[in-house]
Structures are given as structure tokens and as C-alpha cells.
């Protein structure tokens, strides 16, 4: 199995102690977000976990504990954008803090295992196409040689982020302008020895040099593990998503990055309430098991052909 850690929250930044404790204990629980009392037990044996995919805006809390992951193949999706604290409210300063952390992570695990995400891209009166291109170029220049791939996407509106998105008054570019913008992104990336993929986008940007991306990437996992992986498309994701199947271990309404475009949080009040339940020793993230919960061990297996 492949673990997604996590699309729902920034585990490396805020809950890495919990996750590494679960690695030591050999299992964790995940609550079904559609059925609160349905809980899955996930066994974390290295014989079953083919790869761990981390999603984060700040992996600094994990840097000195990476050796604890030694039995497991893994890579990081590291989001690094040009937004300020008006959009990504609790993300540290990009130039002073996050770029050096990106560089350090790459030095420790290798550039192939650190994917740069410049996403989601939203256009506002402040964050114009010209602003994004300038920010993208500055970041790309700073992390040249520290990654070989960048992933972009354009912001989507969801029920959970509708209010904050409306306050930002975002706009979309006409197709022709969007294609020209994407072409500039691809050009800048190429000049910095990076290829670019798009995440879950309907628009075809192949003519711009941007491929449809698989964030949970079968080919990359095979390269990291040296094994063939038998995994199909993740049916729980959007049609446009190219990711292969994985098991998500996060909990909604727990990410404290407080990004205004976030679709994984309902409100700041809900985040505070849910994250206050965090117990580093609990088998479940930001919660406890109750008598009403029904725990079922999820049937999992390695996806490696040679197993």
C-alpha cells in the first residue's frame, strides 16, 4: 500500500511526532470522514507499506528525525509559493525560512524525492500573472539543483473555501492568456532544469510543455523502490487526478497553516476545536476512540510485483 500523509492536513509540520510514534507502534487509526464512528486500523509494517507520500508546506519538524523512516521508501510534496501571510497566514517567510528548508531537505534525501508544488495559483488584484511569474522565477532560481520537478494547479472553489475565496475576489484568465502564462512557467522551469506537471487540471497544457501529473506517482515510486508497482488510479479522487491508489491517514479541520484557499478546513473555529484534541500518544489523529466507534482492520497488501 501507499500512504498519503496527508491531503487533509500538514502532518509533517504539525503532527510529525504523532506520525513517527505510530510508525514505532506499527499501526494507526483513521476515522471515516463520511461516517464518524467507522474507524479503520492500518498496519504500518515495512513489508506492507510500499511508499509514504508526504504533503507539506513546512517539513522542518521532521528534518532531524528522517532516519526513523529508514525502513520505508518516501518522498515529499513541498508547497512553496509566492503568497504572503495574507493568503498563507501561518506559513513562515519564504525567502528567509522556507527556501533554506527546501534546500536542506533536498540535501538530506536527494532532489528526486522533493517535488516542488507551486499551487494552487489564483489571480487577484494583488497576485497578478506578472506577480506569479516573477515569484516563480525567483523561487525556481533559488532551488535550482534541489528538485527536478514542479507541480502547478489553478485554484478551485469548494463549499469549504467559498467564503474566503469570495473575499479575495479571484479571477480566471481567458484560455489564450492562461496558455501563454503556462508557457512562461514551463520556460522558466526548463531554464532551471525542471519539468512541470499540472495537478488535476481539465485544461491540456501539453503544447506548453506541461504534462498531466500524478502526485502519487507510480513511476517515481518504482524508481525509489526499485520494484514494479501494481496500482490503479485512485477512484476516490477527481476524474482529472492522475494519482494511483493510496490510503489517506489525515483528519480534516486540523491544518493550522490557515491558507485562505484551503478546501480541507471548514473554519478557524473548527480547526481550533479539532486540533485541541491532539494527543501525540493517541492511535488516531486529533481525537480518541470512543465506545461508539467500530474499529475494523483494513485489508492491505504490498503493491510490489516482486512480493
Domain boundaries, the chain: 2-297
Residue whose C-alpha cell reads 524508481 in the numeric block: 223
pTM of the shown model: 0.95
Degrees to nearest 5, angle at CA 100 with 49 and 83: 90
Most confident of 157-166, 264-273, 288-297: 288-297
Average pLDDT of the residues in 111-132: 97
**Region 181-203 average pLDDT:** 94
What confidence score (pLDDT) does residue 141 get?
A: 98
Query: Residues 184, 113, 11, 230: is their CA dihedral positive or negative?
Result: positive
> Is 96 within 8 Å of 118 (Cβ atoms)?
no
Residue 241 has pLDDT above 90, yes or no: no
Q: H helices of the chain, where?
A: 11-14, 16-25, 99-109, 129-142, 162-168, 175-191, 218-225, 268-275
Contacts of range 188-192, beta carbons closer than 8 Å, 24 or more positions apart: 188/133, 188/136, 188/137, 188/140, 189/140, 189/150, 191/140, 192/140, 192/141, 192/143, 192/144
Q: Per-residue pLDDT for 160 more than 70?
A: no
User: Residues 125-145: what's their mean pLDDT?
Assistant: 98
Mean pLDDT over residues 18-39, rounded?
A: 96
Q: What is the pLDDT of residue 213?
A: 87
pLDDT at 157 (0 to 100): 65
Using the predicted structure, report yes or no on whether residue 33 has a pLDDT greater than 80.
yes
The secondary structure of 40-106 as a DSSP string is: EEEE--TTT--EEEEEES--GGGGGGGGGGTTS-EEEEEE--S--TTTBTTSPPIIIIIHHHHHHHH
Separation in Å, CA 151 to CA 82, 242, 255, 270, 300: 14, 12, 21, 29, 29
- For 50, residues 6+ apart whose C-beta sits below 8 A from its C-beta are 1, 2, 73, 221, 225, 227, 229, 302, 303, 304
To which residue does cell 507520500 refer? 53
Cα-based distances in Å from 296 to 2, 41, 251: 19, 6, 18
Mean pLDDT of 76-105: 97
Q: Are 11 and 65 in contact (CB under 8 A)?
A: no
pLDDT of 307 over the 60 cut = no
Is 135's pLDDT higher than 80? yes
Closest alpha carbon to 198 in 220, 215, 218, 184: 215
Q: What pLDDT digit, counting tens, does each position of 204-240 carry?
A: 888 999 988 889 999 999 999 999 999 999 888 877 7
- pLDDT, the chain, mean: 94
Extract the C-alpha cell encoding 98. 522556507
Residue 167 has pLDDT above 70, yes or no: yes
pLDDT at 158: 63
- The tens digit of pLDDT for each residue in 52-71 reads 999 999 999 999 999 999 99
Cell 528534518 locates to 63
Contacts of 164 (CB under 8 A, 6+ apart): 260, 261
Average confidence (pLDDT) over 71-96: 97
Of all residues in the chain, the percent with pLDDT exceeding 90 is 82
pLDDT score at 267? 86
Q: Distance between terminal CA atoms of the chain?
A: 12
Amino acid at each position: 500500500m501507499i500512504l498519503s500523509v496527508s491531503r487533509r492536513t500538514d502532518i509533517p509540520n504539525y503532527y510529525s511526532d504523532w506520525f513517527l510514534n505510530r510508525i514505532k507502534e506499527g499501526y494507526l487509526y483513521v476515522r471515516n470522514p463520511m461516517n464518524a464512528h467507522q474507524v479503520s486500523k492500518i498496519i504500518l509494517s515495512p513489508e506492507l507499506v510500499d511508499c509514504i507520500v508526504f504533503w507539506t508546506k513546512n517539513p522542518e519538524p521532521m528534518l532531524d528525525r528522517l532516519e526513523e523512516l529508514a525502513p520505508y521508501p518516501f518522498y515529499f510534496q513541498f508547497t512553496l509559493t509566492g503568497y504572503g501571510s495574507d493568503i498563507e497566514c501561518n506559513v513562515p517567510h519564504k525567502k528567509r525560512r522556507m527556501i533554506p528548508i527546501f534546500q536542506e531537505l533536498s540535501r538530506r534525501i536527494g532532489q528526486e524525492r522533493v517535488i516542488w508544488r507551486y499551487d494552487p495559483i489564483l489571480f487577484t488584484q494583488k497576485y497578478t500573472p506578472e506577480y506569479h511569474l516573477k515569484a516563480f522565477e525567483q523561487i525556481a532560481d533559488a532551488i535550482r539543483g534541489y528538485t527536478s520537478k514542479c507541480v502547478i494547479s489553478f485554484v478551485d472553489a469548494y463549499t469549504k473555501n467559498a467564503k474566503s475565496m469570495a473575499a479575495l475576489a479571484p479571477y480566471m484568465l481567458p484560455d489564450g492568456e492562461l496558455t501563454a502564462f503556462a508557457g512562461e512557467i514551463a520556460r522558466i522551469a526548463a531554464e532551471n532544469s525542471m519539468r512541470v506537471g499540472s495537478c488535476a487540471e481539465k485544461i491540456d497544457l501539453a503544447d506548453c510543455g506541461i504534462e498531466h501529473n500524478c502526485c502519487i506517482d507510480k513511476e517515481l515510486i518504482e524508481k525509489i523502490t526499485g520494484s514494479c508497482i501494481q496500482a490503479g488510479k485512485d477512484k476516490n479522487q477527481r476524474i482529472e487526478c492522475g494519482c494511483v491508489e493510496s490510503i489517506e491517514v489525515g483528519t480534516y479541520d486540523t491544518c493550522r497553516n490557515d491558507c485562505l484557499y484551503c478546501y480541507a478546513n471548514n473554519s478557524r473555529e473548527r480547526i481550533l476545536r479539532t486540533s485541541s484534541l491532539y494527543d501525540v500518544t493517541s492511535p488516531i489523529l486529533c481525537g480518541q476512540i470512543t465506545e461508539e466507534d467500530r474499529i475494523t482492520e483494513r485489508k492491505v497488501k504490498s503493491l510490489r510485483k516482486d512480493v
